[in-house]
Amino acid sequence: MCRERPVLPFAGVPARDYTTAAFRRRRRARPTSRREKAIMPNASLAFDHVHLVSKDPHAAASWYVDKLGGKVIRSSDIRGAPQIYVSLGDATVIVRGQRPAELAAEKPGLQWGVDHFGMRVKGDFDGFCAGLRSQGVAFSLEPTDFNPTTRIAFIQAPDGVSIELLNRKDQP
């Protein structure tokens, strides 16, 4: 008996039959070990930076220095706009201005893509948050227990940037 393949409603194309012997053979032929699946065996990834576009890059960079204890490690003009590198421990925040011919817009709220970036606080999490609050930093989420081992808070940075602060009790 010949079985008719279903048609995908959005394309009018027959759906793939995942029960055929040919499919099972292709599936078995795929590599299964981690070594065989390596994309680039002589390379690895490490986080490098967060890059922000700011209306006032100098004021925004100063905020990261004054409020979060960052240190400006480089400042230059790149492609017609200031670009300031702020070191925050092992992380770098690059704050740049609007370049000529660019048109940046306000964020209307939650959008697809990057929502926030997180910074780990080592030590007294609640004391650190209290210090930020005393400096006038606005919290969009007050310090709270996210799960039994993690305490989080969200703060509002310049230009609509949201930063998650977190403290993992199981990591020093």
Report pTM: 0.70
The string of pLDDT tens digits covering residues 34-66 is 545 556 677 767 788 999 999 999 999 999 999
Q: Is the distance from CB of 121 to CB of 128 less than 8 angstroms?
A: yes
Q: What is the pLDDT of residue 51?
A: 94
The string of pLDDT tens digits covering residues 81-131 is 999 999 999 999 999 999 998 888 887 877 877 889 999 999 999 999 999
- What is the rounded radius of gyration, in angstroms, for the C-alpha atoms of the chain? 24
% of the chain residues with pLDDT over 90: 60
Can you name the residues that pair with 83 across neighbouring β-strands?
76, 96
- Which sequence spans correspond to the domains of the chain? 47-100, 114-172
For the chain, what is the mean pLDDT? 82
Query: Which is it for the CA torsion 71, 77, 79, 80, positive or negative?
Result: positive
Query: Matching CATH topology for 47-100 and 114-172?
Result: yes
* Check whether domain 47-100 has CATH 3.40.800.10, yes or no: no
Q: Which residue has the tokens 């599936």?
A: 27
Topology annotation, domain 114-172 = 2,3-Dihydroxybiphenyl 1,2-Dioxygenase; domain 1 (3.10.180)
Would you put residue 89 in left (φ > 0), alpha (ψ -120 to 50) or beta? left
Dihedral angle, C-alpha 59, 112, 142, 52, nearest 10 °: -20
Is the pLDDT confidence value at 8 over 90? Answer: no
Q: Residue 42 is which amino acid?
A: N
Q: What is the pLDDT of residue 111?
A: 80
Query: What pLDDT band is residue 23 in, cutting at 50, 70 and 90?
Result: very low
**Exposure of 115 in the CB half-sphere (CA atoms within 13 A):** 4
Average pLDDT value for residue range 15-23: 50
Is the pLDDT confidence value at 152 over 90? Answer: yes
Strand pairing report for 117-120 and 139-147: unpaired
In order of 44, 128, 136, 143, the CA distances from 133 in angstroms are 38, 9, 5, 11
